[in-house]
Each structure stands twice: as structure tokens, then as C-alpha cells.
Amino acid sequence: MHYTVKLYDAEGVSEAQHREAVLRFRRALEDTLGDASLVLPVYLAYQRIAGVYGEQPDTAALTDAEREIVEQWQAAETAAITAVFGPLRNMGDGMYELKPA
């Protein structure tokens, strides 16, 4: 499943730096989840879970499958944000948007 990434708060960053940041973000998500085809389905499943249980769900309240999705997405998100916003601190606090392509 193809997806697009939009990074926010990129003031003062050149277009080339922004493109490179998006590529690092995508690569980190895909590497952590194991394949590009898993990014959007895992993200959408996480969004559904967060809609029911909140953005930081109590893992004890989740089913095993829900817990695995939450853990997978949180690991991927952390890796992606670290890959981009760690070296480019002036890009802001890590706001992003994923959408189907």
C-alpha cells in the first residue's frame, strides 16, 4: 500500500533538506516495520486503536493483537522522528501526516 509523508514545522530548511528528511522518515518507518507495504496498514490500525483508547492507550486494556500494533507503531514512529528531527532540530517537534498515495 503506497503512502505519502508530510512533515510540518520545517521553517528555515531548504527544499533539498526537506526532501531528504522525508526520505529518512519513510526509510525509518519501513525498516522498523519490515516493509513499505506495512506502514499504512499498521498506522491506520494504530489510529483506530488510539481513537478508542486514546493516544497513549493503557496496554493492559488492549487485546494481544492491539498491543502488538501499538508497540509496532510506536517503535516505528520513534525511529522515524529520531531519524529526522534528531539531526534537524530546527524542523520543530516532530509533526507529520501520513496518507494513502
Distance, in Å, from the CA atom of 48 to the CA atom of 44, rounded to the nearest integer, reads 6
Contact indicator for 13, 88 with CB cutoff of 8 Å: yes
State pLDDT tens for residues 65-90: 999 999 999 999 989 988 987 755 54
User: Can you tell me whether residue 94 is helix, strand or coil?
Assistant: coil
State pLDDT tens for residues 9-40: 667 788 899 899 999 999 999 999 999 999 99
C-alpha cell at 32: 522498523
Closest residue by Cα to residue 33 from 65, 64, 2, 79: 79
pTM to 2 decimal places: 0.85
**Which residue do the cell numbers 483506530 mark?**
48
